[in-house]
């Protein structure tokens, strides 16, 4: 059993990556992006960047990056389906199973 691709796309598009990331680290706007300390490694100078328009994050210090689903997978130690379900719950999206 999996989640319908359209539902995964909707969760990805409707999830506010800035709101999700700020549950783990403080971000501040820098131009069109947001910047802060990386929630994946210890650092003193911000190297973590979030692009809200594209829904992506990247750390120039440790190299991690991805979309909102990958962020939740990494931070909450969840598999793909559980991360999508968690984000769907936050965004009040009903998921449909394949099969």
| Cα–Cα distance, 55 to 1 (Å, whole number) | 26
95 falls within a domain = no
- The answer on pLDDT for 1 being more than 70 is no
Q: Is residue 96 in some structural domain? A: no
Tell whether 39 is covered by a domain: yes
In a domain, 28, yes or no: yes
What total number of domains does the chain contain? Answer: 1
Residue 56 inside a domain? The answer is: yes
Which pLDDT value is given to residue 97? 82
CATH number at residue 39: 3.90.580.10
Task: Please give the pLDDT value at position 13.
Answer: 94
Q: What is the pTM of this model?
A: 0.92
For residue 40, give its domain range. Answer: 2-90
Q: Which residues contact 86 (CB under 8 A, 6 or more apart)?
A: 72, 76, 78
């Amino acid at each position: 059993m999996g989640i319908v691709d359209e539902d995964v796309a909707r969760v990805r598009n409707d999830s506010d990556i800035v709101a999700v990331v700020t549950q783990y680290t403080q971000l501040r706007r820098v131009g069109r992006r947001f910047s802060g300390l990386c929630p994946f490694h210890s650092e003193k100078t911000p190297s973590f960047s979030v692009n809200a328009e594209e829904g992506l994050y990247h750390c120039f210090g440790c190299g991690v990056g991805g979309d909102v689903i990958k962020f939740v997978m990494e931070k909450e130690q969840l598999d793909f389906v559980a991360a999508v379900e968690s984000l769907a719950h936050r965004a009040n999206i009903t998921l449909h199973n394949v099969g």
